[in-house]
Each structure stands twice: as structure tokens, then as C-alpha cells.
Amino acid sequence: MKRYTIPLSLILMLILAACGSTSTSGGNAGGGISQQGLSGGNSYITCPSNTNTTAAAATSGNVTLTVSGFTSTPAEDALVKSNLDKFHQLHPNITINWSPIPGDYETKMRANVASGNVPDVFYVTPSMANEYISAGKLLNLSPYMAKNNVSPSNYYSSLLSPFSCKSGNIYGLPKDWNSLGVFYNKQMFQQAGVALPSSSWTWTDMQNDAKALTKPGNAATSVYGITLNPDPSRWGAFLFAAGGSVLNQDGTQAVFNNQAGINATNFFVSFQKAGTSVIPTNVSAGWPGEAFGKQRAAMALEGGWLIPYMASTYPNVQYGIAPVPVDPATGKRADLIYTNAWGAYANTQHPEAAWQLIQYMAGQDVQASQLHAGFALPTLKSLANDPYFTQNPGVKVLFDAATYGYADDYGPHDTIIHTDIGNALEQVMLGKSDVPTALNQAVQKINNELQA
């Protein structure tokens, strides 16, 4: 779990799905720079020097798999356990020892890998994949997929690429995903006489709406059109819509200081400069979702994790979900995609049984159960027309980003990249730097790291 701007104490309670992915969109938007998105499949991850190239023989006799992942809400944890139990019913010779890891999952898993005390099957985050694939710590699933006729095209490509290396070998199957939408307070829009956001609304519409919805007052009563943090995991959606990219095609240089990056950043910070946006802490909120729930902001750019939070914490707030608006200059809409995967330890004693579990947990039945329970969006294209979306149009808005969403993971240096972009956005939003200077400095810092 990563990159949700929610206090740590709330993360495990709120997150529907996980985050991160990397792939490449074709085309020459942004001056020939290949973008990260669903329409392609580039990976920045170096392949391991040694990996399995064949699938192990079918499991015979009784085996026990140790399975682990991060903890979530009690309801979601119970659903995971239920699905693992169903797998055992279908494969009675494979016993599942489910042992979730509370707290800092990635750090604890890193210690387990270092000591060789690794579960057979476990959740793989994009940042873990960046490290573990190149180090040869994950089972190569491609031979098993070929053996069982599981086509990579069954899944959205940007959800596979953070768990693939440059050769195309796959080391994890995405278990679920999420995207961003603009959550808007219906009552505030109606009281201000502002039309609700349409499916074709633009950046300009969003700016105008935020202005009309802002009601100045004192520290306790002022209301803002939108709440935004200096967050690269929100800004990136506008960068991609403007035709830009964070890195070049092979991941060797940062390139977001071009005109597309400047345009996207000018838009992103325009709300703060106009006084129509508020940083959540300035209204005694820990994250944008809380500022939205407290009705100190009429809009928030968040993902499906906000839905259960609003239901449990602010159930009386009536809201809708609109798609991220279109850049009027390019005519494009973009979004950000977040995901995690199921993977297996390269040295598991039961690789074929591990594969059978991964195939099931990333398969149709489990994906549908997660969707119908309201926990996550399905990674399988075959569920795109599930009746759940008709019954839950807000979730459908989030799911539709599958056709225009871009990745929020940029390979082995992802954490540094996000940190430097976030620092640049903060400098601009606080009035300490102009946009070109802040972006140039961030690009230089990132390129120094990439070339080190």
C-alpha cells in the first residue's frame, strides 16, 4: 500500500486496492516521449540473471503453502481468508497457512527475504517488484501462464508491467487496482447554483466550479472549491493529459520540465494561487478525504478508498464521483493507476502449487467477489461489464479509467522521483518558487540519481 495521502493510522482501515504500476503508451505525444499508460507494456526493471524458464510438474501428494500479505479492514481480511478457504476446497491436497503481516509490510518482508524466511506466496507491491525481480527473488510466472493458457492480454497491461521485467517475463499477477476520481459534494453544488460535473468537463470547468464554490470566512467557517496537497500522485494525472511523461522511454532521464509539465503544474497549483483550494492541514484535516468529509471543500481528487471512509465517518454527506477533467488544450483525459500483485518466492519448495493459488486468487471468481464486496476494481478485462457497475455508477467512473489511466510507478528510483516532484510542487504552492525553476531543479535531482 502506498501513495495515498492518508495518515498511517487510517491506511489499513481505508484502502480498497493497492497502488502503483508501470507501462508505456504508444504514440508521440509530448515530443516523441513515450508515456506510461495502459495502452502499452514497457518495464523499467532489469531482468534477473538467473530465473526459472519452465513450469514445474503438477503437485502430487499433500503440500502446505505459507501465504502472506498486508492486513486491511476486518471485512476485507475476512474476504481474503474466505477465498483462500475456497481454494483449499477446490484443491484439498494444498493446505493454506494464511499469515498476514501487520504494520510496515514492505520493511518486514524485506527482512524476511534477507533472512531467507519467505512465504511461498505473498502480496507484491510495485516497489517490492522493482527490487525483488532483478534480485531473482520471485518465481517467473510466464512459463506457468503459457502452460495453463493464461494470456497476459486477459489483464490490463499497465497492471502487469510493474511486475514484469524488460524481457516481458511476468513475476506477479495483479490482484486488484484503483484509480482517481473527483468526489464532489452534491448539496454544495446545488446551493451554489453550479451544474454537476459532466463526463466531458474540462480543466477550465473545474477551475470555474472551484471559484464559484469557494466561500471565504474565518478559520473555522471558510469553504473551498477543492482540497489538494502538493502530491505527485494527483499531479501526474494532469501531466499525462497534457501530453507529458515523468521519464523517457527507457527510464534513463526525467523529462517533465517541458511545456507539458509546465502547463500541468500551472493548472495544478492554480487553485491554491486563486484561493479556491486548501491544503487539508489548514482546515484541521489529516488528508483531503477528511477535509471533504468535514465539508470544508466541495471537491477532492481521490480514489475508491474514499468510498468506505465516507460511509463510515461522514455517512450523511451526499456526493458524486466525476472523472478527472479533460485538458482543453490537448482534448485528453488521463488518470493514475494503483495496484499490487500476487507473487511467489523463487525458492518455494512447491512452485506449481504456488502458481495454482496465484492463478485462482487473481482469477475470475475472486476478482468478482472483491468487486461485489466493494473492495477493489477487477484487473481482468472479462469483468468490465459486470452488473455491479450499473448499480454503482460512481465505481464505474473509477473503473472507466482503465481506458485512459497511466501508471504511478517509475521503476527502481520511484520513491526518490515522487519525493523530488512533491518537493517541487510544495515550493510552488507555498510561493517559494516559480513553476519552471521548481521543475528544472526536480528534474536535475532525479537525473543525478538515475545516472549515479
Going residue by residue through the chain, which has 452 residues, state the pLDDT in tens, using 9 for 90 and above: 334 444 333 333 333 333 333 322 222 222 223 333 333 346 778 899 999 999 999 888 999 999 999 988 788 899 999 999 999 999 999 999 999 999 999 999 999 999 999 999 999 999 999 999 999 999 999 999 999 999 999 998 778 888 999 889 999 999 999 999 999 999 999 999 999 999 999 999 999 999 999 998 888 899 999 999 999 999 999 999 999 999 988 889 999 999 999 999 999 999 999 999 999 999 999 999 999 999 999 999 999 889 989 998 999 999 999 999 999 999 999 999 889 999 999 999 999 999 999 999 999 999 999 999 888 899 999 999 999 999 999 999 999 998 788 878 888 888 999 999 999 999 999 999 999 999 999 999 999 999 87
Domain of residue 272, CATH code: 3.40.190.10
Flag whether 91 is in a domain.
Answer: yes
Q: Indicate the burial class of 198 (C-beta count within 10 angstroms; 0-12, 13-18, 19 or more).
A: exposed
Q: Is residue 171 domain-shared with residue 302, that is, in the same domain?
A: no
Grid coordinates of 288: 483531503
**Alpha carbons 208 and 203: distance in angstroms, whole number:** 9
Q: Which residue range is the domain that position 297 belongs to?
A: 179-335+409-450
Q: Is residue 215 domain-shared with residue 321, that is, in the same domain?
A: yes
Q: Is residue 289 domain-shared with residue 258, that is, in the same domain?
A: yes
Mark 434-447 as b/e (b = at least 16 C-beta within 10 Å).
ebeebbbbbbebbe
Query: Kindly report the CA angle at 14 between 69 and 206, in degrees rounded to 5?
Result: 130
Residue with grid cell 453550479, as numbered in its chain: 194
Flag whether 88 is in a domain.
Answer: yes
Flag whether 429 is in a domain.
Answer: yes
Smallest Cα–Cα separation from 39: which of 153, 149, 192? 153
Q: Indicate the burial class of 267 (C-beta count within 10 angstroms; 0-12, 13-18, 19 or more).
A: buried
Helix axes 414-429, 232-241, angle to 10 degrees: 90
* CA dihedral for 124, 54, 366, 83, sign (positive or negative): negative
Q: Is residue 295 domain-shared with residue 342, that is, in the same domain?
A: no
Q: Is residue 290 domain-shared with residue 357, that is, in the same domain?
A: no
* CA dihedral for 225, 227, 230, 232, sign (positive or negative): negative
Grid coordinates of 332: 485528453
Q: Is residue 151 domain-shared with residue 186, that is, in the same domain?
A: no
Flag whether 33 is in a domain.
Answer: no
